[in-house]
Amino acid sequence: MEYTILVADDDEDIRKLVRLYLENSGYRIIEAVNGTDALAILNKKNFDLVILDIMMPEKDGLETLLEIRKDKFMPVIFLTAKDQEIDMLQGLSIGADDYIAKPFSSMELLIRVKTLLRRYIEFDNKNKNIIKIEQLEIRRESRQVFVDEQEIMLTPTEYRILELLCLNRNTVFSIDKLCENLWNERDGISDTSVMMHIAKIRRKIEINPKDPQYLKTVWGVGYKV
């Protein structure tokens, strides 16, 4: 499996060094030049791990981490200078998983990344019975859906559509792709039927179905959570 890692640091040389070390070990790397840039990228794409420099312009690493932890749970490693111990401790207290002091060796970086990813994947696999996205919660074992702690009654088909989209958050599913994943075939299932299911789900889970918070339409492509 290829893991995708976001590296946010305003120092281009540091970004290049981290990219070199990690790409040589098979990881896919995306770069951000500051915290604002990192958050914009994170809103468009899912990542398996984030590496954040603490001292960055516009938004520093601490501010960026606070924003990340509002709705994202991937592991985060801080890059720190040797004189940033207080900032490092603060970062760990608000949700960072580990830190690496500059200068660092390739071996230290790789071991910390590999260890965190293994720990995260093991934890994630144990906890996939509950999917929580903001105020939307799906309890897969009992097939229950809650919004703001209020249970929402879905039909089996509506539940399967919502579960699939939530398990693949930010992935856009065309109607054909939904049919392929849910029914293993396309025959006998019209576009209108799928669109009606989507509309019914929205009426049940959204405060304003015309301006959905969860189940979005990507015009000309399909749907995503």
pLDDT of residue 125: 53
pLDDT at 26: 92
pLDDT at 184: 59
Please tell me the predicted confidence (pLDDT) of residue 14: 94
Over the chain (225 residues), what is each successive 10-residue block's mean pLDDT? 89 95 94 96 89 91 90 85 72 82 90 85 62 87 88 88 89 88 65 88 92 92 92
CA distance 117 to 159: 30
DSSP state string for 35-80: HHHHHHHHTTS--SEEEEESS-SSS-HHHHHHHHTTT--S-EEEEE
pLDDT at 169: 85
Residue 60: φ, ψ to 5°: -80, 180
Q: Is 21 in contact with 5 (CB distance < 8 Å)?
A: no
